[in-house]
Amino acid sequence: MTSTASPVLPSSGRLRPLGIDEVRITDGFWARRQRINGQATLTHIQSRLESEGWLPNFDLAAAGTLPAGRRGREFSDSEVYKLLEAMAWEIGRTDDEELEARFRAIVRRVAAAQEPDGYLNTRFGRPGQGERWSQLQWGHELYCLGHLFQAAVARIRTRPDADDGLRETALRAADLVCREFGARGRDAICGHAEVEVGLAELGRAAGRPEYVAQAALFVQRHGRGLLGDIEWGRGYFQDDVPVRAAEALRGHAVRANYLAASAVDVAVESGDDELLHALRGQWERTVERRTYLTGGQGAHHQDEAFGEDWELPPDRAYSETCAGIGSIMFSWRLLLADGDERRADLIERTLYNVVATSPSPDGRAFFYANTLHRRTPAQAMDPDATSPRASSSLRAPWFDVSCCPPNLARTFASLAGYIATADDDGVQVHQYASCTVRTVLPDGTMVAFETATAYPADGRIRITIVEDGEWTLGLRVPAWAHGAAVRVNTEPAVEAAPGMVTIRRAFGAGDVIELDLPVTPRFTAPDPRVDAVRGCVAVERGPEVMALESTDLGADVAEAVVDTASAPVEAGGHARVRITLRDTGESREIALVPYHSWAQRGPSTMRVWIPTT
């Protein structure tokens, strides 16, 4: 076992992740998001879990009074576990004593509801409730436990000697799952993949290989029709074909990404190269044909699902926030396995244009779905209201299905764990933020440096070496960054092609490496096979997708036609394009906003893909 505080820690692979104990985000875009998350979002989520009754459900379970008084959907327990995971990462990041006390208080309430044999769920298993494991298709019992296991992983890796009891609670539940669903137990799977990824990581963190084996068994069972058919087909549950036989991610986008992430875990731990090869192929096709420009995934509202190849309507984009987070989980695991920087490109795209888009600036309201085209002005949300899932037209404070807020919280709190990796030869930087990095290579070489950048406001990344040592520094050059250049100290700058640029040398303390990425605004044309946006272009600036809002246009965005003969121009970290209004013929330059900041100035219409005629 290792003490590296990382959300994902495979036993083998091309790269080793650096955890939040080795990378500290210090300033800039993501530091602000982490600060708001820690100071506002965690408190907001905990307050809503109390007021909605989802935390008190555990008190009712401990008192033996259920089902009377239980509130929330069948999966509401999982939101408590995701909050615990977010808190654990945040405590590991900040050593916040007040948050530690709140964390322990919640753990006590959760642990008190656990049955003697390890069963833990507030919706099933007691007189007057459905029997245990009786609704595997829709009941989310195993799904909830998967999030409990991930919360325990965060606690084990950030506070390995903690005596709060979360580790023991999770291990008892995991032991029960292995007894009930092992090779000699129930031949069944959960309707929502998650227990697989939770078991695999808990097995790694706790040194319990039987949990990884159980995760592998669940992954292998997918595709056998164990859950039965529904109106959207078994593909909704990824139960139509075996994981290794699928050609692309399909069905419910969150379920699909969680399952794919766990399948990578299983493939890596078991040395199953055939499965890993299949997952790489699924990633390729999904990114090429079933992923929005923003990195969002999921074209269908009715089943929160991927569409067919090239089915990417901007105005009906579901692009659930949780699906984006699941996509990052899948891509990160593949990156660790094979070192392919295209995974990091997609992670960056998704972070800036899905994850960063969902929360409001104050961290207390959220988008569940992330449309790329808003046709009618939204309605302001009551700050005390609870919105039905994705029906809110502006960021909403809470949802009946509120998976996204705590999922965002755990992602922001652990974000430093997705910045950099190491191998036997050096350190690779995959995402850019002002941060400190300090780790030791297998041969004992100390690697320590500081990164300073205003990225993505500008494209200059400045790395200052803190410790002497000979090693290799790898810097990711995004696929869009043609014309990038890298310089070491006062040496001449050299071109850095997209991919990973490496610098091998005996570094001395005070050495400076500068990477310049051209973030000049650019037009992006869609693949001609995407019917819904044919004849349109989008504007990107560095890793950010830009959006046209009626707030800036002074008219409905339906009236806008973009002049592609005039290149987009830089405008103080934003972009300006020449727009002609259909109804008046008036032509003028209009400011676009980063997509992640749209709908922050009140109701508006908006579009990412702008017609050219």
What are the residue ranges of CATH 2.60.40 in the chain? Answer: 420-516
Q: What token pair was written down for 580?
A: 């002609």
What length does the chain have? 613
- Asked whether residue 391 carries a pLDDT value surpassing 80, the answer given is no
HEC string of 61-122 equals: HHHCCCCCCCCCCCCHHHHHHHHHHHHHHHHHHHCCHHHHHHHHHHHHHHHHCCCCCCCCCC
CATH topology of domain 420-516: Immunoglobulin-like (2.60.40)
Residue in 542, 595, 105 with CA at minimum distance from that of residue 314? 595
Domain 16-372+380-418 sits in CATH at 1.50.10
Summarize pLDDT for 454-476 with one digit per residue, the tens.
999 999 999 999 999 999 999 99
Per-residue pLDDT, 394: 87
Residue in 569, 585, 514, 575 with CA at minimum distance from that of residue 546? 575
- Is this prediction's pTM over 0.95? yes
Distances (CA, A) of 185 to 176, 179, 218: 11, 7, 12
- Asked whether residue 108 carries a pLDDT value surpassing 70, the answer given is yes
127 C-beta neighbours (distance < 10 Å), count: 7
The residue with greater pLDDT, 392 or 332, is 332
Per-residue pLDDT, 2: 45
- Asked whether residue 140 carries a pLDDT value surpassing 50, the answer given is yes
Mean pLDDT (the chain, rounded): 97
**DSSP structural state of residue 456:** T
d(CA 417, CA 5): 8
What are the residue ranges of CATH 1.50.10 in the chain? Answer: 16-372+380-418
Strand order, beta sheet including 485-488: 23-27, 434-440, 446-453, 460-465, 512-516, 485-488, 494-495
Q: What token pair was written down for 493?
A: 């700058």
- Asked whether residue 332 carries a pLDDT value surpassing 90, the answer given is yes
d(CA 527, CA 467): 47
Per-residue pLDDT, 579: 98
Angle made by CA atoms 385, 386, 391, in degrees to the nearest 5: 110
Q: Where are the alpha helices (DSSP H) in 95-232?
A: 97-112, 141-158, 166-181, 195-206, 209-221
- Asked whether residue 572 carries a pLDDT value surpassing 70, the answer given is yes
pLDDT above 90 coverage of the chain, percent: 95
Per-residue pLDDT, 390: 67
Per-residue pLDDT, 384: 84
pLDDT confidence tier of residue 392, bands split at 50, 70 and 90: low
Residue type, 167: R
Inter-residue contact 201 to 333 (CB < 8 Å): no
- Asked whether residue 21 carries a pLDDT value surpassing 60, the answer given is yes
Q: Who's near 194: CB < 8 A, 6+ residues apart?
A: 78, 142, 143, 146, 147, 258
Summarize pLDDT for 237-264 with one digit per residue, the tens.
999 999 999 999 999 999 999 999 999 9
HEC string of 408-447 equals: HHHHHHCHHHHCEEECCCEEEECCCCEEEEEEECCCCCEE
